[in-house]
């Protein structure tokens, strides 16, 4: 076989795709021809380079992120992540609690007072304890409730800011 | 080599995706992403354009999946979409008068001519040579090496006999070796520094 013919057979030879007769022929030729042995080595190196192409495929995550942006899934995900996150839920709960405390402070104090009076009729010990609570509650005015609410809201705000900053880096 | 997806799982994913299950749709795309990228890259031979075309293919699959009746294999259907989309993108490129050579030059240097000259990345050199192969050879090689597909899978995807796939790949490799030798990097330039 000529070197040209051997050169054509080297790719299937490396793939193990030749008949036994052709393979034996190529082997005999390679044993005697240095030029074709060099060709074989070049094919082997080419094969390695071709396999390395696998690493040039961009990651699925990159492609998926672009798809999310395109379909709007990203925006939906971000919305869910922010508004259904634990800090966000805690913030909303605090706001609701603050609203109740402030808007109903006087009624709450009156309710506690009535509850204390009710217990006072039952037991001296409970009455003294509840009397203390009632006394404390009656001292709570709008200003104190507002301060507690403001502190809680501030803490939640900090937690939210930290969460959003961390999310933004993703 | 393994099949892309076992048939029963593939069918179940298709049905779920058709019913609007986002996870199933993503699983299908993720599973076929190397195939899609290999095909569009095989046609376009440009990474940026290939990445854009991949997105178009995703959208076309998203829109077309409800109409997929399973007459062909899912991978074959996706291959056709990917190839058509890549050919559309190639048509647009040609209309904007950017030649494949210019494209390869830009790619090899990321738009910087000096970088193109000084670049020693062997895989880039290989890609430049691959851009000069015939389209079926390029796609078959891309599917084989970038997409990690077996000859049988490539034959199924491209709807051609296994023997033809082998011919494309072997001739493509022979041509690549000759081009690498002519570019003064026989062997050394390919896999060794």
Name residues of chain A where pLDDT drops below 70: 72-85, 87, 102, 105, 112, 116, 119-143, 145, 162-170
Say whether B89 sits in a helix, a strand or coil: helix
A42/B190 touch (CB, cutoff 8 Å), yes or no: yes
Least confident span in A155-164, B46-55, B80-89: A155-164
A49/B26 touch (CB, cutoff 8 Å), yes or no: no
* Percent of residues, chain B, with pLDDT higher than 70: 79
Q: ipTM of this model?
A: 0.73
User: Looking at the complex, does the CB of residue A67 fall below 8 Å from at least one CB of chain B?
Assistant: yes
Chain A: give the shortest CA distance to residue B73, in Å.
22
- Mean model confidence pLDDT for chain A: 77
DSSP string, A95-125: HHHHHHHHHTHHHHHHHHHHHHHHHHTT-HH
Cβ atoms of B5 and B29 within 8 Å: the answer is: no
Q: CA-CA distance, A100 to A136, in Å (whole number)?
A: 18
Which residue in this structure is represented by tokens 């104090």? A109
Q: Which pLDDT band holds residue B19 (cuts at 50, 70, 90)?
A: confident
Count Cβ atoms below 10 Å from residue B8 Cβ, excluding itself: 8
For B182-193, how does the pLDDT look when each residue is reduced to its tens digit (9 = 90+)?
A: 876 544 444 333
B37 class by beta-carbon count within 10 Å (0-12 exposed, 13-18 middle, 19+ buried): buried
pTM: 0.62
**pLDDT value of residue A168:** 46
Contacts of A66 (CB under 8 A, 6+ apart): B51, B55
Pairs across A and B, CB distance < 8 A: 97
Cβ atoms of A31 and A63 within 8 Å: the answer is: no
For B103-124, how does the pLDDT look when each residue is reduced to its tens digit (9 = 90+)?
A: 554 444 444 444 443 334 677 7
**pLDDT value of residue B190:** 41
Nearest neighbour of A11 by CB, restricted to B29, B51, B174: B174
């Amino acid at each position: 076989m000529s070197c040209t013919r051997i050169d054509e057979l080297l790719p299937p030879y490396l793939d193990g795709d030749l008949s036994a007769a052709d393979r034996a022929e190529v082997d005999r030729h390679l044993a005697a021809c240095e030029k074709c042995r060099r060709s074989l080595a070049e094919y082997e190196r080419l094969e390695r380079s071709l396999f390395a192409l696998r690493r040039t495929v961009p990651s699925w995550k990159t492609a998926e992120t672009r798809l999310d942006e395109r379909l709007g899934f990203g925006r939906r995900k971000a919305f869910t992540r922010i508004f259904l996150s634990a800090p966000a839920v805690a913030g909303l709960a605090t706001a609701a609690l603050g609203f109740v405390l402030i808007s109903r402070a006087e009624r709450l104090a009156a309710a506690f007072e009535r509850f204390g009076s009710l217990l006072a009729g039952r037991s001296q010990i409970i009455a003294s304890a509840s009397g203390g609570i009632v006394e404390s509650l009656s001292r709570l005015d709008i200003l104190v409730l507002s301060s507690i609410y403001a502190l809680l809201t501030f803490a939640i705000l900090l937690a939210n800011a930290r969460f959003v900053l961390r999310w933004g880096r993703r | 080599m393994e099949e892309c997806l076992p048939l029963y799982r593939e069918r179940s994913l298709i049905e779920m995706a058709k019913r609007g299950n986002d996870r199933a749709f993503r699983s299908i795309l993720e599973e076929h992403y190397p195939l899609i990228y290999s095909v569009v890259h095989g046609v376009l031979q440009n990474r940026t354009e290939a990445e854009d075309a991949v997105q178009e293919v995703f959208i076309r699959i998203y829109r077309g999946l409800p109409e997929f009746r399973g007459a062909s294999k899912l991978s074959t259907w996706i291959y056709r979409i990917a190839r058509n989309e890549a050919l559309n993108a190639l048509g647009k490129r040609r209309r904007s008068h950017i030649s494949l050579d210019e494209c390869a030059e830009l790619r090899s240097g990321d738009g910087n001519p000096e970088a193109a000259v000084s670049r020693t990345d062997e895989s880039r050199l290989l890609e430049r040579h691959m851009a000069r192969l015939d389209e079926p050879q390029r796609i078959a090689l891309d599917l084989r090496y970038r997409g990690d597909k077996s000859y049988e899978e490539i034959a199924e995807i491209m709807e051609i006999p296994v023997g033809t796939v082998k011919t494309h790949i072997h001739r493509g490799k022979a041509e690549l070796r000759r081009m690498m030798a002519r570019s003064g990097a026989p062997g050394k330039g390919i896999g060794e520094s």
